[in-house]
Structure formats: C-alpha cells, structure tokens
Amino acid sequence: MRNICFYFRIHQPLRLKRYRFFDIGQDHYYYDDFQTEDRIRQAVEQSYLVANRTIAEMIRSSNKKFKCAFAISGTTIEQLEQYAPEVIDSFKELLKTGGVEFMAQPYAYSLASVFDANEFERQIKFHADKLEELFGVRPTSFFNTELIYSDEIGEIVSRLGFKSILIDEAKHIMGWKSPNYVYSHPYISKLKLLVRNNKLSDDIAFRFSSLSITADQYIGWIAALPENEKIINIGLDYSSLGINQPAYTGIFEFLKALPYHAMEQQMGFTLPSEYTKKADTAENLTVTYPISWVGNDKDLTPWTGNDLQQEALAKLYAVSERVNLCSDKPLQHDWLMLQTSDHFRYMSHKDPYGTNFESPYDAFMNYMNILADFLERVDAQYPTSIDNEELNELLKTINNQEKEIEELEKEIKKLRARKAAKEV
Amino acid sequence: MKALMFGWEFPPHILGGLGTASYGLTKGMAMQPDMQITFVIPKPHGDEDQSFLKIMGACNVPVVWKENSWEHVSHRLGWIMQPDEYFGLRNGIRYDFRRIHTNDLGCIDFSGRYPDNLIEEISNYEAVASVLAHQLEFDIIHSHDWLTYPAGVFAKQISGKPLVIHVHATDFDRSRGQVNPTVYSIEKRGMDAADHIMTVSNLTRNIVIEKYHQDPRKVTTVHNAVEPLPDVETFTKTQRQDKIVTFLGRITMQKGPEYFVEAAHRVLQKTDGVRFVMAGSGDMMNAMIDLVAKRGIADRFHFTGFLKGRQVHEMLAESDVYIMPSVSEPFGISPLEAMQVGTPTIISKQSGCAEILNHAIKTDYWDIDAMADAIYSIVKNPAMYKSLRELGTDEVNNIKWYDAGLKVRAIYDGVIGRNH
C-alpha cells in the first residue's frame, strides 16, 4: 500500500526592534512586540485556526485514516502562548484524535546544528521538554531548522535517540534517485531519512491556485507514480494554507477532499515516526555538506552566504559556552531568541525572504547593535579576559566553596545547639 | 543619426556635475557606430577631448554679418576652427541681432560660467542657436539643463526637428522649494516645447511631472553613470589609528551639511577613534564651523576647504566612510566616485543615485540617528566595511554610460519615428 506523509512547519519570526548604537548598554529589550503580535495574529486568523479545523474534520471524515505531523518551533510556541493560546488548545484537541504527531527540532529555530553541536543538543532537549510540558508527549522524529541536514547532523540526531529525520530533495544529493523511498544514513543504518517530494509539495504551496489543482487530479498524479514507490512525503509551511493560498482559492476544500480520493485509490496516510518502523530502506544517502529546503541550490547560502552573515554568526556563537554557564534567565532567553535563523536570512543579498529591513546592511547594523549589548551583558557576568577553561575551574571552586560553607555552617549550628544544651 | 546638443560645460573646465555628466553621456553614446554628435558650449578652451564628438563654441558663431577677410578670420579663429566653417555659418544669419553686443567677427563674447547676467547669456545663446539651426544638418536637438532650453526650443522652431531636453536638476532642488519665477518659466517653457524629457532619476521625474505639469508619458528616467577611473590603483588608503568619515561637496543648504555635523556629534558621544572631515566650500561653511564649536567636537572635526581634481579622489580614497546627506539631489555622482575608490558610502534617500545603488547605506537626510548608526557600524564592524567596499566597487563598475547612451538612443528613435 502506498502512503502519504504530510507534515507542516510552523514558525513565525520574532521581530527585532530598531536598536541604535547609542542604545547599547542602556536598553536590554530587543524585540518589537507589536510587529511580532501582528504577524502571529495574522497567521493564526488566516491560517492556523482554519487549517486546524480542516485537519480535524479530515481526520473525522476519514475515520481516523488521515494523519499528519507538525514541527512547531519553540519560539513560535512562546508566541502562541502569549498572543494566541486558543491555537495551543486547538492542537491539544487534534492530538486527542491520535492522528497527529509533533516533531523535534532546535528550540530557537536556530542554525546551531551547523555552528555549535552542544548548543544544538541543548536546544533539542529544551524543545522536547517544552512539547512534553504542553502536550504530554515526547517527539521521536526529527525536523531540523529549514530542513538543514548533513551526515554529521544525522549522527548527532541519532545519538539523541531519534529514529527518523526529514530531509529535502536536493538535486545534487539525489541525482536520479526518487524521493519516494525510505533512505538511511551512510554509517548509522538505524537512522531513516524521509525525503520531501519537492514537486508535489510545491504544487500545493505555490502552484495550487495558478494551476487550479483538484483533489482527484492531485491524487491521480500520486497514483500514476511507479508501483514500488511507497512513501510520498509532502512538507509544507503551515501558513501556505490560508496565506500563500488564501481561503478563497478553495485550498481548504481541496484538503478536505484528499482523504476520500486517496482511499479510493487504495492509499493510506502515515506519520514520520510510524512509517520508518515498518518500511524497508532502499539505500544510503551521503550528504557531506549541509543541505536545506530553500531556493534552487538547496544549500546554506541564504543564511551564511556573505561576509555580514558569517561575521554575525561567528560573534554570536563565540560566547555559546559562557552563556550556558550563566544562570541569568533573561540572558539565556535572549540567547535563544538571537539565534533564530531569520535574523541571518535578512542579511542575505541574494534571498532576504520575509525581511522587515530596508536592506541587508540595515538588518546587519541593527542585529550587531543588539548583539553588542548582549555581549556586554555576557561579559559583565563572565569577563572575556578569562578563558573558558579557567572559568570552569573558578566556577567549580566557587560552587565547592558554597558547599563547604554550608557544611561548616551546619557544624556551627550543631555546636551552638550543643553549647546551649549544656548551659541549660 | 546626427544629434545637435546644447550644453553649458564640458571637461576639463567644469564648475559642477553638469559637465561631467555631459562628457560621460556623449562618450557613451559615441560608442554607437552611427552616432554623430555636435556639442555646443558657450566658450570652449580648445583643450576639450574631441576624439568622439565635435565641440562647437557659441562664442565663435557669427550672429551679425561682418565683412572680414579670410586671413583675418584665420588669424582670429584659426586656433580653434576652420575659417571656411565661419563663413559657412555666417550664411545662416537670417535675423537682425545687432542689438546684441558683438565683436569684430560678429560673434558674442560668452563667459561660459554662471555670471550675474546669466539670463542675458541664455538669450544670446538662443541667437547662436538660430544660426546653427539654419546652417547645420542634424536629426535631433538635445538640450542639457535649463540654461540651454531656450536655444533648443528656438532651434526646433526653425528646423522642425524634434527636441529632447535633459533635466539634470530643477530649480526645486536648488532652492528647497523657493523657486525663482524667471528660472521656473524658462524651465517650464522648455519642457512644454520638448518632444520628450529625460530626467536623471525618478525623483526628478516626479518633480517634472508634478511641479511642471508634464504628461508622464513624455518623461523618461535615464540614470547617470560614472566614467571608469583610469588611474584607480594610484589612490591608496594610508593606515591610520583613527577612522575618517568624509562629507565632500558644496557646503550649501541643498547638501544638508548640518545633518552631518549632528550625526558626528552622536557618534562622538559614544566612541572615539573617529575623525570627521568636511571638504568643500560654500555659503554655509562658517555656520558649520560655528555649529561644530557649539557641539564641542572641534577637536575631531576638520574642514579642508575647496578640493579640486586629483585631491577629490585622494580624499575619498583616504576615507573610511563617505556620506552625502543631501536634502534634494537630482542624481549625485560623488557617491559613485567614492565607491570607485572602494569607500563605503551613506547617502540620503532623497538622492537620485539611491535608486540604482544597492551596496550603499540609505537613510533619510533628517534621520541623524540612522546616519550615526550607519557610521558607527561601518567603522566598528570590519565585515560591514569589507562588504560595502567589495560589493560596492563591483556594483559601481557595472554602471556604464554606454547603457545610458542606449536608452537615450531609444528615445531619439521614438521621437523621430513619431515625427515622420
């Protein structure tokens, strides 16, 4: 039986406010809440709520045959909690149907997978904790920021216990190979790779209304694929339902009709974690340099392609260890928020998708001013004049001292008590 | 295609940007194989580059019939033009211009500058145009800037050939809105009579449409370009402890020098290791010196006075940032010159060149916070400096006069086709 695996990326960038260099050291709040709220509310009203209702109906009408997975970034969960808690409730409802899965990813929708393996692990755990706290489930399949993937990333993800990871159909990796099989990591065979079908995904996200695609046509395309291609992975940005393809195009009616036509053609629906358990793998896929799901080149250049981006990323990740030594909560939160990949995308000359800045230079200036303030705060906690190892030693000493003092104090108390007892 | 162009300046003797633009454009157009350009200026010095066009001096064109021997004409004008040409042009005198003061050859003495009796010179130029229009062969008339519009209009009336005018600036740019009615009427009459109007930016195009009430279909933007510097490698940057931020241009209201001083003040409040230079002269220079003193930044703010020729490029090349906070700039060539020598630039959004530059920082002229922020960022972030320097140089090297020339040619072909 052929299976369709639908999954949706849910992420809205956190807008940074206009931050001038004379604010450095004066103002430690970096965000434009008005813009952030405006964006998330728009996404919620035009897309997320309607789409959630549609999916609930699809699950019900297909007698729970329809299934799909979600990848919600940690930063977006925070935004939803603050500005649209009804969406969280709506996801809880969906989860009860049993047809829905949440996937793991780095909390801040960051590029940590490429720049800082330790930070990457920390964020994955943090994100999984957040999901568990909200929805009571721990994710088992993995969706990296912008579907960034390489063998190295696969290795880390596998070490953390994930069995499957989603990747994109990059021409230079796949060659003649079809995305419609399950592949595996070149030297960790238990890690399965699910390859997004570019054409069928983009048909919905970008070409749905211009080609006036109907549900039976779409399922017909899938049915016409060679017999032995068993898994079709359709990955979309959730807001393409309702924003890129507005409700009036009939996108939601199209979705509602999909399960019926799929079942008519003997097709099922599946989840990333579910399918990889039972499927046979076709082959290994070797990915030496990281790929992503953006643009024609499917590489990292939209975030790391120019000098500005590399400078910003280098300065940011240089303090990773120090920040993680800190116990200052606001500082750690800012650390996450400043890692979101969108900030670097806006500095791209080539593809600054979704930017709210006038130019890549403008985005860079603003970010670097904020980063300068952030670094000063980190420096105030742990001066850069002390190197990391020395710092670790010092911290150990301080912590040990605390323990020792505690013990000594206990002893003093004991002695005093004894003395008091004697006097009586 | 033969074009008769009326201009006011031509290098090497230039007073403003008009001469540079006239030179670049004609040189770019001359690369089209069938293009013949006769460029009229009031007073040539004889050392103009005539390899790609013919320069005609209005001061050597007779407007009043005087009997002269061939020898006398040869003696007087031989150094700059053929005596036969003089006699040929003399046959084109059809009107009585004896009211104008002329010399022994029947020619008018032009200053070729911007004298107090500018309006009189403009109308004398018109008289010269009438002689040329009768005697020369051409397919199209092209007038550069308002000083030459009346000449172009008169030549059109006589010859019946189409007229295009090239708006390098309007009086609205020069005066921050306080227009001189005489100048405005000359500009407006020229635009009304023209078959097509070319503007150096969309900013100027909008002014022409809105303030001079021209039909938008008749107005096309042809952005200026910049001539490649032949000796670009000779301009080098000396290693210094302090970063240098430069303003270079006329210190007048139009150029927004006070915003530069205020931005400098902002930057110096937060950081040292930066010096500011205001190069050029103008009627606001003393006021700027006062302002610098009042802000208490005179130890880090320097005035150089007027720079010319090679000094301009040297100053630009030595700078870490070039800034042009113009309040209203029809195009503005100097940021492109700064980028040629690899200097990052900050320009106001109210400048025409902002429309074609990506690798320059753009701010509103009044937004001193944004300006200060940009200065700070370039001097403090090597990545920012490097990006702007490298990508900016690439960008400016691809802005070519040849391409601007092709656009002008397309407009020529359009108006000539319409007239036949």
Buried b (16+ CB within 10 A) or exposed e, B332-364: bbbbbbbbbbbbbbbbbebbbbbebbebbbbbe
Domain extents in chain B: 2-225+401-419, 232-397
Whether residue B362 and residue A359 make contact (CB cut-off 8 A), yes or no, is: yes
Phi then psi for B243, rounded to 5 degrees? -80, 150
Q: Check residue B374 and give its pLDDT.
A: 96
- Are both B2-225+401-419 and B232-397 of the same fold? yes
Chain A contact present for B38, CB below 8 A = no
Chain B contact present for A316, CB below 8 A = no
**How far are the Cα atoms of A344, A357, B171, B277, B360 from residue B385, in angstroms, in the given order?**
18, 19, 36, 18, 11
Q: What is the C-alpha to C-alpha distance for residues A227 and A70, in angstroms, rounded to an integer? A: 28
How many Cβ contacts (< 8 angstroms) between chains A and B?
Answer: 57
Angle at which helix A360-381 crosses helix A329-337, to 10 degrees, equals 160
User: CB-side exposure of A136: number of CA atoms within 13 Å?
Assistant: 7
Neighbouring residues of B375: CB distance < 8 A, sequence distance ≥ 6: B245, B263, B264, B267, B274, B321, B323, B346
Q: What is the C-alpha to C-alpha distance for residues A79 and A184, in angstroms, rounded to an integer? A: 35
User: CB-side exposure of A65: number of CA atoms within 13 Å?
Assistant: 16
Assigned token pair, B162: 């189409």
Q: Strand A2-10 to strand A267-269: parallel, antiparallel, or no bridges (unpaired)? A: parallel
Neighbouring residues of B183: CB distance < 8 A, sequence distance ≥ 6: B146, B171
CB of B29 within 8 A of CB of B35? Answer: yes
pLDDT in tens, B382-418: 999 999 999 999 999 999 999 999 999 999 999 998 7
Report the candidate in A28, A34, A43 with the shortest Cα–Cα distance to residue A331. A28
Domains and CATH numbers, chain A: 2-284 (3.20.110.20)
Q: What is the C-alpha to C-alpha distance for residues A387 and A3, in angstroms, rounded to an integer? A: 53
Chain A contact present for B391, CB below 8 A = yes
Whether residue B376 and residue A21 make contact (CB cut-off 8 A), yes or no, is: yes
Mutate to test the interface with A, among B381, B386, B389, B390 (most CBs of A within 10 A): B381
At residue B85, the 3 state secondary structure works out as: helix
CB of A193 within 8 A of CB of A174? Answer: no
Segment A95-105 mean pLDDT: 93
Q: Which CATH superfamily is domain B232-397 in?
A: Glycogen Phosphorylase B; (3.40.50.2000)
CB of B359 within 8 A of CB of B395? Answer: yes
Whether residue A364 and residue B384 make contact (CB cut-off 8 A), yes or no, is: yes
Q: Check residue A393 and give its pLDDT.
A: 77
What single-letter amino acid sits at B51? Answer: S
Find out whether the peptide bond into B12 is cis, omega within 30 degrees of 0. Answer: yes
Secondary structure in 3-state letters for A205-267: HCCCCCCCCCHHHHHHHHHCCCCCCCEEEEEEEHHHEECCEEHHHCHHHHHHHHHHHHHHCCE
- Please tell me the pTM assigned to this model: 0.86
Chain B contact present for A22, CB below 8 A = yes
What stretch of H or E contains B342?
Answer: none
CB of B151 within 8 A of CB of B6? Answer: yes
Using CB atoms, which residue from A21, A311, A349 is nearest to B373? A21
Minimal C-alpha gap between B369 and chain A (Å): 7
Helix %, strand %, coil % for chain A, to 5? 55, 15, 35
Q: What is the C-alpha to C-alpha distance for residues A313 and A325, in angstroms, rounded to an integer? A: 20
Can you tell me the ipTM of this complex?
Answer: 0.83
Residue numbers of A between 329 and 358 with CB closer than 8 Å to B: 349, 358
Q: Strand B140-144 to strand B2-6: parallel, antiparallel, or no bridges (unpaired)? A: parallel
Secondary structure in 3-state letters for A271-338: CHHHHHHHCCEEEECCCCCCECCCCCCCCCHHHHCCHHHHHHHHHHHCCHHHHHHCCCHHHHHHHHHC
Report the candidate in B412, B414, B406, B418 with the shortest Cα–Cα distance to residue B139. B412
Q: Check residue A396 and give its pLDDT.
A: 76
At residue B150, the 3 state secondary structure works out as: helix
Distance of CA A381 to the CA centre of its chain: 29
CATH number, span B2-225+401-419 = 3.40.50.2000
Assigned token pair, B49: 């580059």
Chain A contact present for B213, CB below 8 A = no
- Encode chain B (420 residues) as per-residue pLDDT tens digits: 999 999 999 988 887 778 889 999 999 999 999 999 999 999 999 899 999 999 999 999 999 999 999 999 999 998 888 899 999 999 999 999 999 999 999 999 998 888 888 899 999 999 999 999 999 999 999 999 999 999 999 999 999 999 999 999 999 988 777 899 999 999 999 999 999 999 999 999 999 999 999 999 999 999 999 989 888 888 988 888 999 999 998 898 889 999 999 999 999 998 889 999 999 999 999 999 999 999 999 999 999 998 887 899 999 999 999 999 999 899 998 999 999 999 999 999 999 999 999 999 999 999 999 999 999 999 999 999 999 999 999 999 999 999 999 999 999 999 998 766
Using CB atoms, which residue from B372, B383, B388 is nearest to A311? B383
